[in-house]
Structure 1
Amino acid sequence: MDGTLVDTEPYWMETEVAIAEAHGGTWTHQDAMALVGNDLLVSGRAIKQKLGLPHTAEQVVEMLLDGVVARVTESVPWRPGARELLDALAAQDIPCALVTMSYRRFVDPILAALPPGTFDVVVTGDQVSEGKPHPEAYLTAARHLGVRPEDCVALEDSPTGAASALAAGARTIAVPNHVPVPERPGLEFRASLTDVTVDDLKTLPDRDTSQADLR
């Protein structure tokens, strides 16, 4: 979700800086970039350690969520082509799952901005025991959709997300946003979701992706 369908990374970064300043610390752009795509608890631990906070990692996550939920409730910053692609998939009754490491209370305002039923399955970071790059979230989504992971196509923007989807066995398209995604066997690339069509997604599971597509 973050970085792929919506660009909320600036919201997270602003909140991280605010937490640091409130506790007499500093938070750099490099610090923020290192957390992109992480499981929230991993980020919470990193912030706690970097800033020397007395809070638990779980409490740091709640502070982060307080900030970003307030921002996204005001405005959902959609990525180019995101809503159009979701509408096109819905028009053809193609089952979709949202697989994100964000927690449900952050995801809900974004889901509320979409037509009901846009996603048949929603898997969030607080519903799994292992976050990305572990494949659990994608395996969970495929199971609830009632399909094999290898018959799914995943869209991801981060190295950890792409690694998670590939490890689950899903064909994967990377649409890099804030951080580069390294080339990997079977990983295709698009510059934007505006370059992704429903026909792309329908045919990818049947194509030979042994070589990365760098279009």
Structure 2
Amino acid sequence: MPSSSSQPLLKAVLWDMDGTLVDTEPYWIAAERALVEAHGGTWSHQQAMQLVGQSLLHSAAVLQSAGVRLEAREIVDTLSAQVITHVRNEVPWRPGARELLDELHEAGIRCALVTMSEGPLAGVIVESLRKPYFEFLVTGDTVTNGKPHPEAYLTAVERLRLDDPSLTIDHCVALEDSIPGATAALASGVLTVGIPHQVPLPGYPGMVMWETLVGRSAADVRQLVADRFATGNLLEGAN
């Protein structure tokens, strides 16, 4: 942990993908509905909203309970293939996301993608960006425990530390749009910004809420780290 004598700097931003960087949720919902209906079931908007931000294997189990008679791996592959087809036709960027990515890149702030989508889909989206903004991707098929477990975020921080051993969780900010994602980020100890999209986000203690990424800058993200450090110093001084 950084000492109280030196203010920690923002060193890295950890980005969720679906719903935060890109608006792929409608693609997922359409794929889920088509799969359930192909097996004679029905799929409501409310059911779809319960899967937002969850791991794909969790989603597969829910779809099996809705009547899909396929193995979990086959369900994941089927859904992912349909979403990839849509993304190849049009990447639905979230407002302000690419602009903030570009500013962070220009400011020398490292970025990593932390998503429960698997490598093939995440790769298609990252490859469509005009610069190599993301140093690496932590995807759902590279962790044992998906969100809301903090493993994906802890893994990202450890990978960042390989090139900068002085980096700690306190130097990082996570951007999330879903309850499972925000829960995972908060549980890891990373300063978390919630940007609600498809589903409302509760006002979790310690989470910063932004309505949108539009107009947000690297300076805004840096200020979050400075504010957290200042609050920590005040609490420390009161003890």
Q: Which bracket does the TM-score occupy, shorter chain normalised?
A: over 0.9
Secondary structure, aligned partner of 1:121? strand
**Which of structures 1 and 2 has the bigger CA Rg?**
2
Q: 1:95 corresponds to which letter in structure 2?
A: R
Give the alignment partner of residue 59 of structure 1, picking from 74, 82, 85: 74
Match for residue 133 of structure 2?
A: 118
1:164-215 superposed Cα distances (whole Å, 9 cap, x missing partner): 11111110110000001111111010110114221121121221497xxxxx
Letter of the 2:36 partner, please give it.
A
TM-score by length of 1: 0.94
2:110 pairs with 1:95: yes
Can you list the C-alpha shifts for 1:97-149, whole angstroms capped at 9, x where unaligned? 10000001111111111134200121000000000011110011111111312
CA distance in 2, matches of 1:18, 1:10: 12
The counterpart of 1:83, out of the listed 98, 109, 118, is 98
Q: Which residue of 2 aligns with 1:180?
A: 200
- How many residue pairs get aligned? The number is 209
d(CA) in 1 for partners of 2:75 and 2:107? 41
**Pairing 1:167–2:187 present:** yes
Structure 2 counterpart of 1:204: 224
Contact residue 121 and residue 145 of structure 1 kept, 8 A:
no
1:135 has 2:155 as partner? no
Larger RCO (CA under 8 A, 6+ residues apart): 2
Partner Cα distance (1:110, 1:66) in 2:
13
- Report sequence identity in percent: 48
DSSP-derived class of the 2:110 partner: coil
| Residue of structure 2 equivalent to 1:152 | 172
Partner of 2:89: 74
Runs of 4+ in 1 over 6 A off after TM superposition: none
SS at match of 1:181: coil
| Letter of the 1:166 counterpart | L
Helix, strand or coil at the partner of 2:75: helix
Contact 2:175 2:194 in 1 (8 A): yes
What TM-score, normalized by structure 2, do the two folds share?
0.84
CA RMSD between the two structures? 1.3
- Note the C-alpha offset of 1:36: 0.4
Unaligned residue ranges in structure 1 (runs of 5+): 211-215
